């Protein structure tokens, strides 16, 4: 066999560790947090006609509403600041 063909095969065989890593991962137990995350991912992948922010639990919905309120309050504060900056009160 030609040595120019043999060297890349030897180099690839020595540098690749995918087979060894896969065998090591099969022996390790799966973290329960990882399984819980996978269940949540399946819940969000279901096509049930809801938008992504509507698919969560009560905590997610409350967090979304709080974010909406903060955006509205921040927008009002920004408009007030811009108005006062453009038309300063007469001292």
CATH for 75: 4.10.91.10
Residue 72 falls inside a structural domain: yes
Q: What is the domain count for the chain?
A: 1
User: 57, 60, 55: which is closest to 44 by C-alpha?
Assistant: 55
According to the model, what pLDDT value does residue 22 have? 59
Q: Which domain holds residue 59?
A: 3-86
69 falls within a domain: yes
pLDDT digit of tens for each residue in the chain (91 aa)? 566 777 777 777 666 665 555 565 566 788 899 999 999 888 888 888 888 878 888 898 899 899 999 999 999 999 999 999 999 988 7
Backbone angles phi, psi at 79, to 5 degrees: -65, -40
Ordered alpha helix ranges (H), the chain:
3-15, 18-27, 32-45, 58-86
At 73 the pLDDT is 98
Long-range contacts of 78-81 (CB under 8 A, 24+ apart): none
Report if residue 91 sits inside a domain: no
């Amino acid at each position: 066999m030609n040595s120019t063909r043999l060297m890349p095969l030897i180099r690839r065989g020595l540098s690749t560790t995918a087979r060894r890593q896969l065998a090591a991962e099969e022996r390790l137990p799966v973290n329960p947090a990882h399984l819980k995350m996978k269940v949540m991912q399946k819940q969000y992948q279901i096509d049930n006609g809801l938008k992504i922010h509507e698919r969560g639990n009560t905590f997610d919905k409350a967090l979304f509403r709080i974010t909406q309120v903060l955006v509205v309050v921040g927008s009002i504060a920004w408009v007030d600041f811009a108005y006062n900056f453009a038309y300063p009160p007469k001292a």
